[in-house]
Amino acid sequence: MEVTKELPATDDEGYLIDPADWSEQLAEVLAQQESIALTEPHWDAIRFMREFYQEHQVIPDVRFVVRHLAARFGAASRNMMFELFPYGYVKQACRIAGMRRPRGWSTG
C-alpha cells in the first residue's frame, strides 16, 4: 500500500507558494494533473528553470528556456516548448517546475 504524502501549499491556481517545497517527485504529480508524461526534454527544461531560479531568484523568461532547449536539441526547439507544454509556459512549465505564478505575464 502506497503512502500518499500531503502536497505542499499552493495558491488558488495550483502554483507553489514556496518554490523551496518543490521536488522531482512533486513535479511528477503536478505533471500528472496536467496530463503530461514527463520525458527527458521536459526534465531538461524543468531542471534548467530550477537552476536559473536558484542562481537568480527570479523565474526565467520563456526565451531563456527556448534558447537552452535550442542549444541542447537544435533549432526546432522553438516549437518544442509548446509541444512539451501545450497549454503554455506559465500555465504548465512554471507550475510543474514549482515556480510561483509569474505576476504580470499574460502570455503562455
Domains, the chain = 19-96 (1.10.10.370)
Name the pTM for this structure: 0.86
Per-residue H/E/C for the chain:
CCCCCCCCCECCCCCECCHHHCCHHHHHHHHHHCCCCCCHHHHHHHHHHHHHHHHHCCCCCHHHHHHHHHHHHCCCHHHHHHHHCCCCHHHHHHHHCCCCCCCCCCCC
Quote the pLDDT of residue 77. 62
Please determine, for residue 21, whether its predicted confidence score (pLDDT) is greater than 80: yes
Q: What is the mean pLDDT of the chain?
A: 87
Please determine, for residue 76, whether its predicted confidence score (pLDDT) is greater than 90: no
